[in-house]
Amino acid sequence: MEIVELCSKFAINRYNEDNDQKGLRAKQGGDQPPETLQAVVFVGVNETGMEFKSCWIKPKNYEMTEMTKEERMRYGKEKEKTGGFDIGNHEMTEAERLRFEKEKEKEKTEQRKNTMGLGINGYTSPAARRITGGYDLPEGIDIRGRYDEEFAKILTKDALLFVAELQREFRNHIKYAMECRKEAKMRYNRGGLPGFDPATRYVREGEWTCAAVPPAVADRRVEITGPVERKMIINALNSGAKVFMADFEDALSPSWENLMRGQVNLKDAVDGTISFHDQARNRVYKLNDQTAKLFVRPRGWHLPEAHIFIDGEPATGCLVDFGLYFYHNYAAFRRTQGGALSFGREARIWNNVFEKAERMAGIERGSIRATVLIETLPAVFQMDEILYELRDHSVGLNCGRWDYIFSYVKTFQAHPDRLLPDRVQVGMSQHFMRSYSDLLIRTCHRRGVHAMGGMAAQIPIRDDPGANEAAMELVKKDKLREVRAGHDGTWSAHPGLIPLIMEVFNNNMGNSPHQIHTMKREDASTITEEDLLQIPRGVRTMEGLRLNTRVGIQYLAAWLTSTGSVPLYNLMEDAATAEISRVQNWQWLKYGVELDGDGFGVTVNLDLFGRVVEEEMARIEKEVGKEKFKKGMYKEASKIFTRQCTTPTLDDFLTLDAYNHIVIHRPKGSSRL
């Protein structure tokens, strides 16, 4: 810890929470005010013969002794340093403090002079590099995931330093944004409603536009989304869609293997060298000459990366996803797909991340372009603010409608008068959903960027022509509504839908790549807060409760075994639809909903829900087969899903709880599992 943080509130709080992480024997001194703290300078020699110096904050009344040999070895394994320490235990004088700061600044300056890789400044290769049979780690970074030679090509020292630079600069901004989310949640739980912010009226009413959309991404009429699996990437890029959005969030189970192999796959895709040998079919998959544009969606701000620690705390998942992808591919990098944002301040953080990354890479400002998913209820009131903060980097907004429905329930979890009907009834024909879509189109086109439509989650039904025809008719109707409303493009979860969707957009857009200048939707200027918050109509049925339970458990079972995009009942389910299932069950249980339709008059309570879980588990076992059920994670998934649905306080995200079940840390001091 640098001496400049000695008297900062952050440094003192961190010290008081964790006062003895250096392996030294010391007596607990309790919480300490600034005037009782002093600095200890450590001088030592590592096994390469290099001298090093570090500083530690401690209370003046701590009794310290030199480490024993055993303690030194343990500390050395943990920090990848060995040998004895000549410990100076004294309070720094002003001259010593200034000299220490000067030496640290000189060290940083020297590091910036040494450049590695593709011309990114600030990432140095010290003369004494240590590779201990595992990852080559910079100081302050610890990798707790399995070692793999392919992963090591991604987790290079310079790439990790790049991610660490982003993490160190923005982590406190991210933490503050997450605290603001919590404060907003408390307001809503006390009866408040989200709405337009009077303080930013000047942004909404101002006459400004975003930077012009680059010609390379002007035509986005059909985009396909999916996980970063190797075969999926190849098929999606070859699908005929205009864009493939590789999804690190909703479509991916964030295991160490999935995340790192995903980065390897994307790098190979950008390089044009990606291929996949399907041994079962004896078929080799390669890229066509003409492929879709590649967009990448990182995880949300709230998701940690528990396999990478920076300065003793888990890295922020989205900065790991963005940082590693950008570092290795920025020479061809011109676009990204932003995660979900709730407020303009969160867009400002992303804008600052983009600008810093561009400066560090030495590329033109505005090279990075982002589309933000409007998939939280508070964000619909901040669309102008989000675009304004990202005006030099934005290429549009997207209707993330499944997460938007999830957010509606979560926002109004303490409002028993705002209960949703069965999730299959909450479509774009509902007034609050149609208002959300129309306002997004008007906002985007007014600011000169794309307004993207929602996901078509249907899957072709190859063994039932009648059912398949009905499903395709639903897709056609939905996409026709979108293009006529003014959307410039839309999403598909399956390559089999792309020809149908492309035909709908081509027939209604002609040769124009978008509708930004032709569909202004001035009629949407009259949309009010009441329109966006109108309570949806419909019935709540026993089948709705059962479907939520069946889908939620099966999706979670797949997620726990590293699959994040799951075909269920002729729909492609991802984390967003699983979240709807969870929060709706919780809401109905919380307020003892009386069912309609096939469950007319039945009250949803813990006894009923327990029976439903038991019966749906039996149905799942019958559908998937006893052998698959036995080998799968269905029982564990059932426990997690049941706990999430019955907890007194609604957890913010299902995946945060489940994430603890897929994190695998390597043993301390070992490079491989």
- Return phi, psi of residue 97, to 5°: -60, -45
Looking at the structure, do residues 341 and 452 belong to the same domain, yes or no?
yes
Q: Which of these three, 533, 563, 582, is where a domain ends?
A: 533
Looking at the structure, do residues 185 and 217 belong to the same domain, yes or no?
yes
Predicted local distance difference test score (pLDDT) of residue 359: 95
Average pLDDT over residues 387-408: 95
Question: How, if at all, do strands 304-310 and 313-316 pair?
Answer: antiparallel
Looking at the structure, do residues 497 and 365 belong to the same domain, yes or no?
yes
Predicted local distance difference test score (pLDDT) of residue 26: 39
Q: Which of 104-108, 422-426, 533-537 has the lowest mean pLDDT?
A: 104-108
Predicted local distance difference test score (pLDDT) of residue 81: 37
DSSP code of 541?
B
Name the residue among 406, 428, 413, 430 with its Cα closest to residue 342. 406
Name the residue among 163, 114, 122, 115 with its Cα closest to residue 143. 163
At 379, the amino acid letter reads A
Looking at the structure, do residues 436 and 585 belong to the same domain, yes or no?
no
The per-residue pLDDT for range 471-526, each reduced to its tens digit, is 999 999 999 999 999 999 999 999 999 999 999 999 999 899 999 999 999 999 99
Q: Is residue 152 a part of any domain in this protein?
A: no
Question: How, if at all, do strands 141-143 and 51-59 pair?
Answer: unpaired
Predicted local distance difference test score (pLDDT) of residue 52: 41
Q: How confident is the model at residue 598 (pLDDT cuts 50, 70, 90)?
A: confident
Query: Residue 337 CA to chain centroid, in angstroms?
Result: 11
Average pLDDT over residues 215-228: 96
Looking at the structure, do residues 169 and 318 belong to the same domain, yes or no?
yes
Q: Is residue 121 a part of any domain in this protein?
A: no
> Alpha-carbon distance 342 to 65, whole Å?
50
With a cut of 80, say whether residue 21 has pLDDT above it: no
> Alpha-carbon distance 325 to 304, whole Å?
17
Q: What is the CATH number of the domain that holds 614?
A: 1.20.1220.12
With a cut of 60, say whether residue 458 has pLDDT above it: yes
Residue 505: count other Cβ atoms within 10 Å of its Cβ: 24
Q: Which of these three, 484, 500, 533, is where a domain ends?
A: 533
Predicted local distance difference test score (pLDDT) of residue 85: 32
Counted domains in the chain: 3
With a cut of 70, say whether residue 19 has pLDDT above it: no
List the Cα angle 495/500/501 in 5-degree steps.
80
| β-strand partners of 245 | 225, 295
Looking at the structure, do residues 556 and 516 belong to the same domain, yes or no?
no
| β-strand partners of 500 | none
Predicted local distance difference test score (pLDDT) of residue 264: 98
- Return phi, psi of residue 665, to 5°: -95, 140
Q: Which of 121-130, 185-194, 392-401, 563-572 has the lowest mean pLDDT?
A: 121-130
Q: Which of these three, 510, 533, 556, is where a domain ends?
A: 533
Predicted local distance difference test score (pLDDT) of residue 673: 32
> Alpha-carbon distance 533 to 363, whole Å?
42
Predicted local distance difference test score (pLDDT) of residue 27: 36
Q: How confident is the model at residue 531 (pLDDT cuts 50, 70, 90)?
A: very high
Looking at the structure, do residues 238 and 373 belong to the same domain, yes or no?
yes
Q: Is residue 301 a part of any domain in this protein?
A: yes
Residue 457: count other Cβ atoms within 10 Å of its Cβ: 21
Alpha helices for 447-514 (secondary structure H)? 465-485, 498-509
Q: How confident is the model at residue 6 (pLDDT cuts 50, 70, 90)?
A: very low
Share of the chain above pLDDT 70, in %: 77
With a cut of 50, say whether residue 374 has pLDDT above it: yes
> Alpha-carbon distance 356 to 351, whole Å?
9
Q: How confident is the model at residue 74 (pLDDT cuts 50, 70, 90)?
A: low
Average pLDDT over residues 85-103: 52
With a cut of 80, say whether residue 40 has pLDDT above it: no
With a cut of 70, say whether residue 53 has pLDDT above it: no
Q: pTM for the full model?
A: 0.79
Contacts of 78 (CB under 8 A, 6+ apart): 23, 668, 669
| β-strand partners of 151 | none
The b/e string for 521-534 (b: 16+ C-beta within 10 A; e otherwise) is: beebeebeeebbbb
The per-residue pLDDT for range 613-631, each reduced to its tens digit, is 999 999 999 999 999 999 9
Active site residues: 297, 574
Task: Output 452 or 81, whichever has higher pLDDT.
Answer: 452
Looking at the structure, do residues 484 and 345 belong to the same domain, yes or no?
yes
The per-residue pLDDT for range 306-361, each reduced to its tens digit, is 999 999 999 999 999 999 999 999 876 544 555 555 556 899 999 999 999 999 99
What's the whole-number average pLDDT of the chain? 84
> Alpha-carbon distance 223 to 373, whole Å?
14
Three-state secondary structure readout of 560-580 = HCCCCCEEECCEEECHHHHHH
Q: Are 165 and 120 in contact (CB under 8 A)?
A: no
Q: Are 522 and 603 in contact (CB under 8 A)?
A: no
> Alpha-carbon distance 110 to 504, whole Å?
58
Contacts of 199 (CB under 8 A, 6+ apart): none
Entry field: residues in the chain: 673
With a cut of 70, say whether residue 187 has pLDDT above it: yes
Share of the chain above pLDDT 90, in %: 73
Instruction: Please give the residue range of the domain that contains residue 85.
Output: 3-114
Looking at the structure, do residues 410 and 472 belong to the same domain, yes or no?
yes
Average pLDDT over residues 198-206: 97
| β-strand partners of 246 | 226, 296
Q: Is residue 47 a part of any domain in this protein?
A: yes
Q: What is the CATH number of the domain that holds 341?
A: 3.20.20.360
Looking at the structure, do residues 90 and 165 belong to the same domain, yes or no?
no
From its phi and psi, is residue 615 left (phi > 0), alpha (psi between -120 and 50) or beta? Answer: alpha
What DSSP assignment string belongs to 182-214?
A: HHHHHHHHTT------GGGHHHHHS---PPPPP
Looking at the structure, do residues 207 and 335 belong to the same domain, yes or no?
yes
Please give the sequence-ordered ranges of beta strands (E in DSSP) within 47-174, or none if there are none: 51-59, 85-88, 141-143
Looking at the structure, do residues 501 and 556 belong to the same domain, yes or no?
no
The per-residue pLDDT for range 232-252, each reduced to its tens digit, is 999 999 999 999 999 999 999
